[in-house]
Amino acid sequence: MTVKIYGPTASRAARALWIVHELGIPFEHVAMEMKDLKGAEYLKINPNGKVPALVDGDFKLFESMAINLYSISPPSTARTASSRQVSRIRRCAISGASGA
């Protein structure tokens, strides 16, 4: 399955784009304009209206470091409910630590 990475390359989306490229993970880059981040469709993906965001099937994740940690998980475990919950917890910890 191909993951989608949302965000302009001249943003922190570059981190997520870099890691999926380096790991050979099939991906689609959805190059968003910053003005579109508060649109209703994107807010369904990332309610904070920021980039980057990742969509993997029905799973949505944001915060570049959380996306990178999710991406380095072995494919057999990365898409399980428990590892997705861990990814959400990491996202909260990262955004809390960064003050975002």
61: left (phi over 0), alpha (psi -120 to 50) or beta: beta
Alpha-carbon separation of residue 6 from 37, 74, 76, 97 (angstroms):
10, 22, 24, 23
Q: What is the dihedral of CA 83, 84, 90, 94, to 10 degrees?
A: 150
Q: Quick: pLDDT tens for 47-82.
A: 999 999 999 989 999 999 889 888 887 665 555 667
pTM reported for the whole predicted model: 0.76
Q: Share the mean pLDDT of the chain.
A: 84
User: Looking at the predicted structure, is the pLDDT value of residue 1 above 70?
Assistant: yes
Do residues 65 and 13 make contact, with C-beta atoms less than 8 angstroms apart?
no
H helix or E strand, kind and range, residue 27? strand 27-30
Percentage of residues of the chain with pLDDT beyond 90: 44
Would you say residue 35 has pLDDT above 80? Answer: yes
pLDDT band at residue 96 under the 50/70/90 scheme: low
Q: How far apart are CA 100 and CA 95, in angstroms?
A: 5
Query: What does the domain layout of the chain look like in residue ranges?
Result: 3-98
Fold classified for 3-98: Glutaredoxin (3.40.30)
